[in-house]
């Protein structure tokens, strides 16, 4: 079940919220837990036990670590069992075939790969695994108190608004709200607005602009000209931004309606003046997770320069590998590592002095990064795509596509800036005007959903 489906909008959501609002507070987490389990099993029945095992083992590990608080060996043993089992599920389902295929290629072996039909990646495992691991690590490091209520812990892990594709919510972010939260009409109103804007971002922007990228893929990169290849990858850059940021905005809006305040995940990354700034604005919760649970434990910037660079290398290698079990994702992560090092060592002060050229520099390198990122997609040859981008060549002209998508790309550029938000803020205090605008956006979005084939969120597969 996805947010951008009529089933979710007109069946699951109203039924769940009606029950949630009617029951007393002591039952709200139970309703939320059961509804979230139903939401997950609707799309992922087969691997549902994997989630339950992860919840159970980390819940018990937390209790045992609290019990053996003064026995470091026992506490550490509990931590490592929970950590390795939970991470092991992710490694097995996401990376087994990657390692086996590379071993086969390197050693000339014929080790059998897992059947992709039987062992596909469980939905949302990359996100909920990181949330559970963060909880267990924080308990072990005594940064948070242990959750004794199994229902509350389960609700934290499977909270349906952010279960499938984030934002990554830490236990410390919502622990207080799990125990006591107020749900006001103003909160619900704000949440509805955020949800509608996120839904429109997905349906009206991501899916429509993404159609250009789909058409370019269908033509085949051997057939397209260099300008059309650039148009295609620019369209993909907007598609992945509006798709993922739209999902995050919907999740934050749903959380607000339920009484939770999820952290911001995007802050207009395409207006950045450096790659360093871009990664402070893009997928903020993932960057924060790697900072807090990888970079700082490795020593962060409190070590000598060579070790600090190594720590950053590890973070970006893992960031790339987190996104997918393919070499192009590793290259994508290391590509940004190199760019960040160049900025850190030399370029960043010059970028801060510039006005226009730093924006051009940043967007150009980010778009090239998306070409690496999409290199393992079905029908995409990374080598041919890069060749088309950087070796001028003829092929299908971009003029036809420019006529069809030019205006939409301009709208995408404008919507990737704070301009729409500033316009919205001007009439936000006018309740009637705000309501009419949101209603119009919602009706148009629903019309597009009814008329088009449902398109899953891009980050579902990560």
Cite the active site residues: 323
CB 81 within 8 A of CB 61: yes
Instruction: Give me the DSSP letters along 41-84.
Output: HHH--TTHHHHHHHHHHHHHHHHHHHHTTT-HHHHHHHHHHHHH
Angle, to 10 degrees, between the axis of helix 226-258 and the axis of helix 185-200?
Answer: 160
Q: Closest Cα to residue 373, out of 240, 224, 191?
A: 240
Task: Give dist(CA 388, CA 227) in Å, integer.
Answer: 9
C-alpha dist (Å) from residue 209 to 108, 412, 418: 43, 8, 19
Instruction: Give me the DSSP letters along 71-128.
Output: -HHHHHHHHHHHHHHHHHHHHHHHHHHHHHHHHHHHHT--PPPPPTTTSPPPTTHHHH
Task: Give dist(CA 273, CA 353) in Å, integer.
Answer: 10
Task: Give dist(CA 86, CA 93) in Å, integer.
Answer: 12
Instruction: Give me the DSSP letters along 427-449.
Output: HTT-HHHHHHHHHHHHHHHHHHH
Phi, psi angle pair for 49, to nearest 5°: -60, -30
């Amino acid at each position: 079940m996805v947010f951008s489906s009529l089933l979710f909008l007109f069946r699951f959501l109203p039924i769940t919220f009606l029950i949630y609002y009617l029951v007393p507070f002591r039952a709200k987490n139970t309703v939320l837990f059961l509804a979230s389990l139903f939401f997950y099993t609707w799309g992922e029945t087969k691997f549902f036990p994997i989630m339950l095992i992860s919840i159970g083992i980390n819940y018990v590990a937390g209790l045992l670590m609290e019990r053996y608080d003064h026995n470091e060996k026992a506490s550490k043993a509990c931590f490592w069992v929970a950590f390795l089992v939970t991470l092991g599920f992710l490694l097995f389902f996401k990376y087994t075939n990657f390692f086996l295929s590379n071993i086969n290629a390197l050693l000339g072996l014929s080790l059998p790969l897992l059947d992709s039909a039987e062992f596909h990646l469980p939905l949302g495992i990359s996100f909920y695994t990181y949330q559970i691991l963060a909880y267990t690590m924080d308990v072990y490091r005594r940064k948070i108190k242990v959750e004794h209520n199994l229902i509350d812990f389960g609700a934290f892990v499977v909270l349906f608004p952010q279960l499938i594709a984030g934002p990554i919510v830490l236990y410390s972010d919502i622990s207080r709200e799990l125990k006591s939260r107020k749900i006001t009409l103003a909160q619900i109103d704000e949440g509805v607005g955020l949800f509608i804007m996120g839904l429109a971002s997905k349906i009206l922007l991501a899916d429509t602009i993404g159609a250009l990228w789909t058409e370019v893929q269908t033509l085949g990169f051997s057939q397209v000209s260099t300008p059309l290849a650039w148009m295609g990858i620019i369209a993909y850059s907007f598609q992945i931004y509006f798709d993922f940021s739209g999902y995050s905005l919907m999740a934050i809006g749903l959380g607000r309606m339920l009484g939770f305040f999820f952290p911001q995940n995007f802050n207009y990354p395409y207006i950045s003046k450096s790659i360093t700034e871009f990664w402070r604005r893009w997928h903020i919760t993932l960057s924060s997770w790697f900072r807090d649970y990888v970079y700082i434990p490795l020593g962060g910037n409190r070590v000598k320069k060579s070790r600090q660079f190594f720590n950053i290398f590890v973070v970006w290698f893992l960031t790339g590998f987190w996104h997918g079990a393919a070499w192009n994702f590793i290259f994508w992560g290391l590509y940004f590592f190199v760019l960040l090092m160049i900025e850190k060592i030399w370029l960043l002060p010059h970028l801060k002095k510039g006005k226009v050229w730093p924006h051009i520099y940043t967007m150009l390198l980010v778009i090239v990064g998306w070409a690496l990122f999409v290199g393992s997609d079905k029908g995409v040859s990374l080598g041919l795509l890069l060749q088309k981008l950087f070796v001028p060549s003829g092929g299908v002209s971009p003029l036809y596509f420019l006529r069809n998508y030019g205006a939409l790309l301009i709208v995408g550029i404008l919507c990737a800036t704070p301009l729409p938000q500033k316009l919205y803020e001007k009439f936000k205090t006018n309740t009637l005007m705000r309501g009419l605008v949101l209603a119009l956006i919602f009706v148009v979005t629903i019309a597009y959903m009814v008329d088009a084939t449902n398109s899953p969120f891009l980050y579902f597969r990560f």
